[in-house]
Amino acid sequence: MLSFVLHHIIFFIHCSQYHHKMVALGVRKKLLTLVHVAILAGVVPVYVKGQNCGCAVNECCSQFGFCGNASEYCGLVCRDPCSASPPLTAASGVVPVYVKGQSCGCAENECCSQYGYCGTTSEYCGLGCQEGPCSASPPSPPLTAASGPQDSQIIDTIEPNAFLNYSQRLVSADGRFQLGFFNTSSPGGAYLGIWYTNDAYDSKVWVANRDKPIQGSQGYLIMEADGLLRIMHDGGSPIPLNANEAAPNSTATLENSGNFRVKELNSDGSTKRVLWQSFDYPTNTLLPGMKLGINLKTQQKWMLTSWLTNQIPAAGSFSLEWNLTANRTGQLVMRHRGDMYWVSGVGSNSDFENVGTMTSDGLYYNFSYASNENESYFSYSVPNGHVSRWVLTSDGQLTDISKPIYVRSGMCFGYSSDRGCVKQNVPNCRNGNQKFEKRRGYFLPPSPHLDDNSNISIGDCWTQCWSNCSCVGFSTFPNNETGCRFYTSQFVEDHFGDREQLYVLIETGKRTPPGVQ
């Protein structure tokens, strides 16, 4: 069946006027295009024969403008004569194969789209949604993208009127990056993201809808006719990615750098301008070639924001940005809930003042800095063939995938003003010999004070406990690592069994920055 479908895809290209555009675009790298959404099963009643579609007399013009004389092109019904009206589309107000009801697995008041999704709005059903009958057979979903780099038909680009469903992937031309939907171990929902194909840690380098997870497994990414990218999903409003940066003649490509870029094209297929790119909207990861800084013309900031927890991509409490100093040099600045937490100091070509050597294991960074009337930013690159990603973790660490930790968890809470830490306000009850350390065991009664706020995580618990003179320990809720539990009683260390690790206030006997082990 697959070879049959692929055969007809090739035939579509050669018999369609659309072929000329695809040759101009250099489509030998396999685009996700209208060709894929032309493959329908079942009865599609509005196809017509003849020259009014630009087809030969004995050919049928499909809903999407392709010519042929078999049911794969025309459905089981191909109308004659040539004077019949051309096929209708969603834009003209009627989408003839949509049906309501249980035959599609939808509720009575929902509409089944031609791709098998249920909903009640025009995004699911077009502008027309037929009342039935429920016995009408919905068409089969279209052939779209490759499922992964092992597929010989690697697809890195999506065009207007095409989509990527929940189980499919865009793969960069060199196979290094993938874009698709993913779930975390937290039950919060699903996300559209980008990741390294062969990352043993399965870490996501970008998340499109970090604060708007979708429910279930019925989501898909669509590029509409006007070039707008939207995440569609059952039970919620569409999520636009490039709401104010779209154009009809455009494509969206996952590039070898890991950048997902929307470009407007000239008539010859060359790039006219870049409309939107994921690199302008970082989450918690800085890839080589990305910028930290600010566009001085638009005031758009490029900054990292940690995940809320290791399993929840929503914006967390730590941020990393690039700030100009008084003498017009720049430095990295980490903040916790907006308060300055750590600074890198002045950078050289490959190191920062407060980080020490950052070159090891044959990986050499090349830092780039810019400051002009248009922008101010920091960026970095690594030698070809090396894999790198700087990650700002939910507990305030700054790490690389294959290198040491540059900023440790809790390093700058409390008294510390070493290694770039910005000294915090400290209550009189604390002293320089105190810090929090992870210990395995339990606290004696009374029970901990609970803060079940699902929008706070470990860094927030740390600062709140340090500021409360009666607090001697803390932890998050173990199910999703949000919220706080604050302890005020004696701690009993217990290394046997599966005791939970808790943060415990200890006396070091000497001045030691909190969190350093």
What are the residue ranges spanned by the domains of the chain?
2-87, 144-281, 285-407, 434-507
For domain 144-281, give the fold.
Agglutinin, subunit A (2.90.10)
Phi-psi region of 42 (alpha: psi -120 to 50; beta: other; left: phi over 0): left
- Please check whether residue 281 is in contact with residue 290, taking contact to mean a CB–CB distance below 8 angstroms: no
The mean per-residue pLDDT over the stretch 410-422 comes to 79
User: pLDDT at position 364, please?
Assistant: 79
Q: Given a cut of 90, is residue 176 above it in pLDDT?
A: yes
User: How confident is residue 98, by pLDDT bands cut at 50, 70 and 90?
Assistant: very low
User: How confident is residue 365, by pLDDT bands cut at 50, 70 and 90?
Assistant: confident
Cα–Cα distance measured from residue 386 to residue 364, given in angstroms and rounded to the nearest whole number? 9
Cα–Cα distance measured from residue 321 to residue 343, given in angstroms and rounded to the nearest whole number? 10
Q: Given a cut of 50, is residue 397 above it in pLDDT?
A: yes
User: pLDDT at position 325, please?
Assistant: 78
Tell me whether the CATH fold assigned to 144-281 matches the one assigned to 285-407.
yes
User: pLDDT at position 311, please?
Assistant: 92
The mean per-residue pLDDT over the stretch 495-500 comes to 83
User: pLDDT at position 424, please?
Assistant: 79
Q: Given a cut of 90, is residue 119 above it in pLDDT?
A: no
User: How confident is residue 507, by pLDDT bands cut at 50, 70 and 90?
Assistant: confident
Torsional sign, CA 85, 87, 93, 97: positive
Q: How high does pLDDT run on average in the chain?
A: 76
- Please check whether residue 108 is in contact with residue 4, taking contact to mean a CB–CB distance below 8 angstroms: no
User: How confident is residue 201, by pLDDT bands cut at 50, 70 and 90?
Assistant: confident
pTM of the shown model: 0.71
Q: Which residue has the tokens 């690697």?
A: 154
User: pLDDT at position 107, please?
Assistant: 61
Q: Given a cut of 50, is residue 52 above it in pLDDT?
A: no
Q: Given a cut of 50, is residue 515 above it in pLDDT?
A: no
User: What percentage of the chain has pLDDT greater than the value 70?
Assistant: 66
Q: Given a cut of 80, is residue 233 above it in pLDDT?
A: yes
CATH, range 285-407: 2.90.10
Which residue blocks in 16-65 are alpha helix, DSSP H?
A: 18-24, 34-37
- Please check whether residue 282 is in contact with residue 290, taking contact to mean a CB–CB distance below 8 angstroms: yes
User: pLDDT at position 64, please?
Assistant: 47
What tens digit of pLDDT does each residue of 254-302 get? 999 999 999 999 999 999 999 999 999 999 999 999 999 999 999 999 9
For residue 103, CA distances in Å to 122, 138, 323, 406 come to 19, 8, 58, 57
